Amino acid sequence: MKETNPSFTVKPFKNRNGVISWRVSGWMHGLRIRRNFKDRQAAFVERGALDLKLMQTQAGLRPVATSLTEAQVREAEALFYRFGDKPRPLAFYADYGLAHFKEPRAQILLSEAAKTYLEARRIEEKKHLICERQMAAIEGEMDTLLAHFPLKRLHELSRTELDTYLNRGNAALKTFNNRRALVHTFFEFACHREDWLKAEDNPMEKIQRHRIEHSRGSATSLTAEQAAQLMAHVETVKDGAFVPYFALCLFAGIRPNGEITKLPASDVRLENNAITIEPWVSKVNMRRLITIQPNLAAWLQAYPLDKHPIIPSKEKMRNVAGKISRIRRQFKLSHDVLRHTFISMHVAKFRSMGDTALQAGNSESIIRRHYLNVTTPQEAETFFGIAPKKAPAVKTAATAEEAGASQSADIPANDASEPRRLAA
């Protein structure tokens, strides 16, 4: 067989009648092809078509009549190459995608969704539905989420990506659960927006929280001496502006940065010796009553709430949270140590887990497990005897029979040394 030429040629050809034609000639599949054209341009067009057909044959390509455009044919070829080593045909994967993929209702960016979410939570903070500490945690988690997925759209986040994000830095189980709770709340918010995300497409629903077996021992608490040193220092800061905050947390067990930030002064009733914690203030959404011990009453009389708000206003004092944090750092106070101290001291003094549980808003099993026998009754007596240096005084009007005159007189209700005798 004659060796084939690599391509076809176009040459002028003189017919018997003397007319010049243009001949396309060459070899394909061992067959010789010769075609004559009156027009030179037509001959070159035919040569191009034959050359293309020859190259397709040599590369394993086949000419196919199709209604697809050239771009669609190229895309189809690319898909067949991608799925060539898969165990199932391409049609199977196409059917699976059609059955399971759902177009999102909106192509909202993660950054835009987070901005709207934070605005909604800040409104809740102003209404005292969430505390300042919780708001700070939400803002911090959203900032980290956006830094981790800066260009993502909300619907593009997958379960695998979010699971990796929550486990970043080899997170402990409790840390993972805390992160998951914050991000899960954000995605629940997104699902309630009609044009953001469908509930069935929420990737966080498939990420389960870890079950943690609690094996904590006794709660960490302050000694009576440490508590006395703390309160003595607080009296010297800003003329005692932070005394009510620390006194209520330490001597009434009110949760700091949570319940204390939402507690209205009107619910602290000295005349009834009781503090009312309403459900919207309580961490566990349950109403409870706390008995005001005599030393706490002395602190609140010396620093009345009408002159010393529980949380100093930002208008009168700058960076209130920073000043409280500075005191906590100075005395190395962990988050709930003031509350732990109250509960430990209360159950040690009154020897009643039931009463302590009611006032602390915990169960008796928690009191028994973490607070019983942490300290001694003698230590507790000293603790509940810690009183302010500033002597509390109450003004009353003397009657004519008692004073022998109609004029009013200021009578001190308690001697300055009276609170000190509580510690004896």
**Do 234 and 352 belong to one domain?**
yes
- Residue 120 pLDDT greater than 90, yes or no: yes
Q: What is the pTM of this model?
A: 0.53
**Do 231 and 379 belong to one domain?**
yes
| Confidence label for 39 from pLDDT (cuts 50, 70 and 90) | confident
Which pLDDT belongs to residue 141?
94
Residue 69 located in a structural domain: yes
Which pLDDT belongs to residue 335?
83
Name the domain boundary from 171, 206, 241. 206
Query: Residue 240: how many CB atoms within 10 A of its CB?
Result: 21
Segment of 12-16, 20-24, 212-216, 346-350 carrying the highest mean pLDDT: 346-350
**Do 344 and 257 belong to one domain?**
yes
Across the range 298-318, mean pLDDT stands at: 88
Which pLDDT belongs to residue 418?
40
Least confidently predicted of 118-122, 131-135, 163-167, 305-309: 131-135
**Do 191 and 289 belong to one domain?**
no
Q: Give percent above pLDDT 90 in the chain.
A: 44
Rounded Cα distance, 105 and 108, in Å: 9
Name the domain boundary from 178, 206, 234. 206
Least confidently predicted of 28-32, 92-96, 203-207, 377-381: 28-32
CATH number at residue 117: 1.10.150
The b/e string for 351-383 (b: 16+ C-beta within 10 A; e otherwise) is: eebeebbbbbbbeeebbebbbbebbeeebbbbb
**Do 166 and 241 belong to one domain?**
no
Across the range 305-310, mean pLDDT stands at: 92
Which pLDDT belongs to residue 423?
39
Residue 395 located in a structural domain: no
SS3 115: helix
Compare 270 and 418 and report the one with higher pLDDT: 270
**Do 278 and 323 belong to one domain?**
yes
- Mean per-residue pLDDT of the chain: 83
Rounded Cα distance, 289 and 254, in Å: 11
- Residue 295 pLDDT greater than 70, yes or no: yes
Across the range 248-257, mean pLDDT stands at: 92
Q: What is the extent of the structural domain holding 311?
A: 224-383
Rounded Cα distance, 268 and 172, in Å: 39
**Do 49 and 131 belong to one domain?**
no
Q: Give percent above pLDDT 70 in the chain.
A: 86
Which pLDDT belongs to residue 142?
94
| Confidence label for 274 from pLDDT (cuts 50, 70 and 90) | very high
Residue 74 located in a structural domain: yes
Residue 3 located in a structural domain: no
Residue 407 located in a structural domain: no
Across the range 267-277, mean pLDDT stands at: 94
Residue 318 located in a structural domain: yes
- Residue 118 pLDDT greater than 90, yes or no: yes
Which pLDDT belongs to residue 73?
79
Name the domain boundary from 44, 79, 100. 100
Across the range 98-108, mean pLDDT stands at: 69
**Do 241 and 358 belong to one domain?**
yes
Which pLDDT belongs to residue 206?
86
Element (H, E) at 383: helix 377-383
**Do 125 and 36 belong to one domain?**
no
Q: Which of 339, 378, 379 is nearest to 356 (CA)?
A: 339
Residue 417 located in a structural domain: no
Q: Which amino acid, residue 247?
A: A
C-alpha 217: how far from chain center: 28
- Residue 348 pLDDT greater than 60, yes or no: yes
Residue 211 located in a structural domain: no
**Do 240 and 359 belong to one domain?**
yes
- Residue 400 pLDDT greater than 80, yes or no: no
- Residue 416 pLDDT greater than 50, yes or no: no
**Do 114 and 66 belong to one domain?**
no
**Do 334 and 229 belong to one domain?**
yes
CATH number at residue 251: 1.10.443.10
Show the tokens assigned to 285: 């959404």
Q: How many domains does the chain have?
A: 3
| Confidence label for 401 from pLDDT (cuts 50, 70 and 90) | very low
